[in-house]
Chain A
Amino acid sequence: MERLAKTFAATAERSETALVAYLTCGYPAGAEMAGLITSVADAGADIVELGVPFSDPMGDGPVIQHTAAHALAAGMTLPGVIETVREVRENGVDTPIVLMGYSNPFLRYGLTTLYADVAAAGADGLVVPDLPAYEAGDWIKCATESDLAQVFFAAPTSRPERLERTVAASSGFLYALATNGVTGSRAELNPAIGQYLDGVAAIAGTLPVCVGFGISRPEHVRSLHGRAAGVIVGSALMQRLDDARTASAREDMASGFIRELKGACR
């Protein structure tokens, strides 16, 4: 939790948008993850969102579906994701890392053990896209005990009363969906996004708001400057990894893209 708070304080201090980089853990290979995470962190990602692959990702578009299925087929597991976090912390990477995954693998692992192990490995929180705050009583309790962030979502369709309860249950940051839909790059941002984010920010108060879904270009990032504490980039980054052929090409591709986006955060 402290790492996340410091990060948002530092980016706000510099009048920067925090850049959150999503990587599906295990894509294209478990052995490449430490290198990729280090690359995006060194290139300027302020937070890494590490995807725990699931067989039925109902909130994801084609790119993340594909990378998750590939990671599973290549043998990535939740213990493997936790081990990856431990490895990059041992390598000295101090960038906040939140795990993002669907509820069932987490439930199967057992929530009490999960949060303890995740915290011990050095991760900073959990983002669970199919877990609305009202289903999350046990999760929030475990997160509080382990001093981990529990991140929930705001959507353009969320009514203010719900949003207030979601904000009250959230820690670390609030994940605001740029649009109603699944993950994936889009050419244009929702034209009403400014007004929507202002409404979310008013309810979120001091809780930082990060925007995701469809953000793929520097101009998207630039247009959100000052409207959100952070931006989240997932499918666009994974698509670039998919286009590279070797591990070092993937690290270069990821670094270059993150550097370009981070430039638009300032």
Chain B
Amino acid sequence: MTDSTPAPQPLGRFGAYGGRYVPEALVAALEELDEHRRKAMADPAFLGELTELQRSYTGRPSILTSVPRFAAEHCGGAQVVLKREDLNHTGSHKINNVLGQALLTKRMGKTRVIAETGAGQHGVATATAAALMGLDCTVYMGRVDTERQALNVARMRLLGAEVVPVDHGSRTLKDAVNEAFRDWVANVGHTHYVLGTVTGPYPFPEMVRDFHRVIGVEARAQMLDEYGRLPDAVLACVGGGSNAMGIFHRFLDDADVRLIGLEGGGEGISSGRHASRFSGEASPGVLHGAFTYVLQDDEGQTIESHSVSAGLDYPSVGPEHSYLRDAGRAEYRPITDTQAMEAFRALSRTEGILPAIESAHAVAGAMQLGQELGPDALLLVNLSGRGDKDVHTAAQWFGLLEGDDPIESAPIGQAPDGAEGEGVQL
């Protein structure tokens, strides 16, 4: 028809990755969202309201905590500093993004938010923001995840949200995302989809990153202020990758700062039961609206991921991570379930800080890197969430519940071999 006007489309690519692979019925909503968030991010009133919420509701800036006992015993004596996103209201970094998107929802005149959740942290954060701002809220959660994160399901319901267990596919995070998209496409007139990570169709990867960018902005200034220099490496766990993009982004131009993402290595890469998109058989493909690394088989069907951590149990990853990985700017390593749980225990026992199992993957990365770099290294770890929600899983893992056998075949730590039904004590 109008071959004279090949209009420019903001495709939102990070190199080859990203884009907007969605049903046509969603394109208008994504364009509307992009328009509103661009205006909002340039509007001092919006930014002022968000900053005030971050200060007086979330509790920002989050502090840095040095963990010398943990570092001396487990990290080859390297200096390790935690960015305490676990101290945010609702217990993780997720609130940063959710407050921004909830404010945008009101700005767009919509009255209902929906969200997907894996570990439950994003669902809890969305339910919280919805309660705060008077929005209706529905959260989709894979049936398997509702079972392993039952407390977070109750939290969301206490906050007034409807939680819908998803019984399709692998009944985990990826299926909750599918279901949230299906709801959105049918209710797009009054509903905003508060996507919880840095993937999905443009503008989500960029918008969610920008709402989390405050993590790295604060941490970089705090490092210079409190430690007199930038860290040698910044470490963060990567499921979809929002906490990692949030802390990495401000350091991208600091060429001497290594950026290291820790993926869910599950039972090990060779087992095939893992959530590592950057090692093993993953390759670029399209899932959930973005072209990025995806765990897929030879036919292009999504492979189910596996991780002890519900928040990392996702077969795809934010497209900007794919770009940073190919460009060599960021490195990604798998951390097995066992390594993560060992880090969980180590940090708990040496510092009195229970990390979320997701964040324990980043802590495990610091244990590896500290051993590699030695005592002169200064490592910054994004402690993206706290472990309260994981007490049941961890207690099961270590065999601390009456009548439970440890999940591990070989108990770790100081447990006497063959100590029946007791395992390791946290």
Whether, in the assembled complex, B24 has its beta carbon less than 8 Å from a beta carbon of chain A, the answer is yes
Say yes or no for A65: interface residue by CB 8 A criterion. Answer: yes
Residue pair B11, A134 in contact (C-beta under 8 Å): yes
Q: Decide if B28 touches A158 in the complex (CB within 8 Å).
A: yes
Interchain CA distance A123-B415 in the complex, whole Å: 65
The answer on a CB contact under 8 Å between A56 and B174 is yes
List A contacts of B185 (CB < 8 A).
59, 180-182
Residues of A within 8 A of B2 (CB): 164-165, 168
* Chain B residue contacts of A129, Cβ below 8 A: 23-24
Task: Let me know if B299 and A77 touch, CB within 8 A.
Answer: yes
B298 at the A interface (CB under 8 A): yes
Q: A55-B302, A56-B287 are in contact. Are A131 and B27 (CB under 8 A)?
A: no
Q: Would A154 and B21 be within 8 Å (CB), given that A107-B300, A164-B2 are in contact?
A: no
Asked if B24 and A78 make an inter-chain contact with CB atoms under 8 angstroms apart, the answer reads no
Q: Which residues does chain A contribute within 8 Å of B11, judged by CB atoms?
A: 134-135
Known A58-B182, A167-B1, A181-B186; contact A103-B301, beta-carbon cutoff 8 A:
no
Given the known interface contacts A55-B169, A158-B28, A165-B2, the answer about A135 and B299 at a Cβ–Cβ threshold of 8 Å is no
Chain B residues within 8 Å of A77, by CB: 299
A30 at interface, CB cutoff 8 A: no
Closest chain B residue, CB of each to CB of A177: B25
A108 touches B28 (CB 8 A): no
B286 proximal to A (CB < 8 A): yes
Q: Are A155 and B7 in contact (CB under 8 A)?
A: no
Q: Could you tell me the distance between the alpha carbons of A154 and B1 in the complex, rounded to whole angstroms?
A: 15
Say whether A108 contacts B24, CB under 8 Å.
no
Count of B interface residues, CB-CB < 8 Å: 42
Measured in the bound complex, the distance between the Cα atoms of B301 and A106 in whole Å is 10
* A106→B287 CA distance, assembly (Å): 13
Who on chain B is nearest to A54 by CB?
B301
Q: Is there contact, CB below 8 Å, between A181 and B25? A: yes
Is residue B349 within 8 Å, beta carbon to beta carbon, of the partner chain? no
Asked if B300 and A61 make an inter-chain contact with CB atoms under 8 angstroms apart, the answer reads no
> Is B9 a contact partner of A134 (Cβ separation < 8 A)?
yes
Q: Does A65 contact B168, Cβ atoms closer than 8 Å? A: yes
CB–CB A155/B21 < 8 A: no
CA distance A153 to B174 in the complex (A): 25
Cβ contact within 8 Å between A158 and B24: yes
Q: By the criterion CB–CB under 8 Å, are B24 and A153 in contact?
A: yes
| Known contacts A54-B301, A135-B11, A157-B28, A168 near B168 by CB under 8 Å | no
Provide the bound-state CA to CA distance between A164 and B1, in Å.
Answer: 6
Cβ of A105 and Cβ of B300 under 8 Å apart? yes
B186 with A180: CB separation less than 8 A: yes
Verify A153–B23 contact, CB threshold 8 A: yes
The residue in chain B whose Cβ has the minimal distance to the Cβ of A129 is: B23
Closest-by-CB residue of B relative to A213 is B25
Q: Cβ of B373 < 8 Å from any Cβ of A?
A: no
Flag A123-156 by CB within 8 Å of B: 1 or 0 each.
0000001111011000000000000000011111
Choose among B178, B186, B300 the residue that contacts A78 (Cβ–Cβ < 8 A).
B300
Q: Which residues of A contact B22 (CB under 8 A)?
A: 58, 130, 132
Bound: A103/B22 CA distance, A: 10
Pick the residue among A130, A167, A180 that contacts B21 (CB under 8 A).
Answer: A130
Complex: how many Å from CA A61 to CA B168?
11
- B294 contacts partner chain A, Cβ-Cβ < 8 Å: yes
| Chain A CB within 8 A of B93 CB | no
Q: Is the CB of A180 within 8 A of B188?
A: yes
- B29 at the binding interface (Cβ < 8 Å): yes
Do the beta carbons of A155 and B25 come within 8 Å of each other? yes
Do B299 and A59 touch (CB < 8 A)? no
What are 26 residue pairs bridging A and B, where the CB atoms are less than 8 Å apart in the complex? A56-B288, A57-B178, A58-B181, A58-B182, A58-B289, A59-B181, A59-B185, A103-B286, A105-B299, A107-B285, A107-B286, A108-B296, A108-B299, A132-B22, A134-B20, A135-B21, A156-B25, A158-B27, A158-B28, A159-B28, A161-B7, A164-B1, A166-B24, A180-B188, A181-B185, A181-B186
Name the 5 nearest CB pairs between A and B, nearest first. Answer: A108-B300, A105-B300, A153-B24, A157-B28, A181-B186
Besides A129-B23, A158-B28, 20 other CB < 8 A contacts? Answer: A56-B169, A56-B287, A57-B178, A58-B177, A59-B25, A59-B182, A60-B182, A61-B182, A102-B286, A104-B287, A105-B300, A132-B21, A134-B9, A134-B20, A135-B11, A135-B20, A153-B23, A164-B1, A165-B6, A180-B188
